[in-house]
Structure formats: C-alpha cells, structure tokens
Amino acid sequence: MSWDIFIQDLPDVASINDVPATHRPRPIGHREHIIAKIKEAVPFVQEQDRDWLFIRQPGMDLSLQLHMEGPDTVRYVVAHVHGGDQSAVCVAAILRALNLRAHDTETGELFDGYSLDESL
C-alpha cells in the first residue's frame, strides 16, 4: 500500500481540522539546506535529479519530491511512501531534522517527527 505525506509549514495545532482557513504555508527553506538536513537524518538517501530523492533500504521504500518556488526555494516536500515497515520512522526522522510537521494522506491527520520515537 502506498500513500503520501506532505511535509510543509503547518501551525502548532492538535489536528488538521484545527488549521485555520486563513493559514498560508510559507516555503520551508533553501534547496541545499533542505537536502543537507535530509541527508543528516537519512545518510543513505540518493538524489535522482534536482527534484527527487529516493530511499530504498530493507524496510524502507519511499521517494521525496521537492516542490519548488523559484529555482532555489522549497515550498514543500511530498514523501511518497511505497511500502516498507520502517518508512514512517524514516519520515519521522526527516521531520525532526527539518523541525517541521506534515499532513498524512493515509490518516487525514497531522504527522510529526515526534509521533514515532524510533531512530534509524
């Protein structure tokens, strides 16, 4: 089963339903900084091209798509989880490194790096 997790600028609220309708997510950072933080959290991530990173290890199968705003600014990242029982732990590590939260399309709720305290 696969699903998507949108890593973006989200307010500190308890539920996705609590995000104010007026909230407009800001870009999350400079491309090189975002990639460096992801590589700190997941050293075995592979860059495919300017917009894609792949993580394929035992128990992990996901791709990260950088959505850009201009040539160097990342608006948000989509983690496309293709499978693997440790993929959610991997996404949690990335979120902790980026100090961001995410919207999990599988549950429809918020996903943050502290919901899973396992490490890679």
Among residues 18, 72, 73, 74, the alpha carbon closest in space to that of 64 is found at 74
- State the Cα–Cα distance between residues 99 and 108, nearest whole angstrom: 20
**Residue 99 Cα distances to 8, 49, 71, 94, 111, angstroms:** 10, 24, 23, 8, 12
- State the Cα–Cα distance between residues 107 and 71, nearest whole angstrom: 32
Digitized pLDDT (tens) for each residue of the chain, 120 residues in all = 689 999 999 999 999 999 999 999 999 999 999 999 999 999 999 999 999 999 999 999 999 999 999 999 999 999 999 999 999 999 999 999 999 999 999 889 999 766 555 555
* All domains of the chain in start order, with CATH: 3-112 (3.30.310.250)
- State the Cα–Cα distance between residues 13 and 79, nearest whole angstrom: 21
Element at 94 (helix H, strand E): helix 87-98
Q: What is the pTM of this model?
A: 0.91
Task: Please list, residue by residue across 70-108, b when 16 or more beta carbons sit within 10 angstroms of its beta carbon and e when fewer do.
Answer: eeeebbbbbbbbeebebbbbbbbbbbbbbebbbbbeeee
What is the Cα gyration radius of the chain? 13
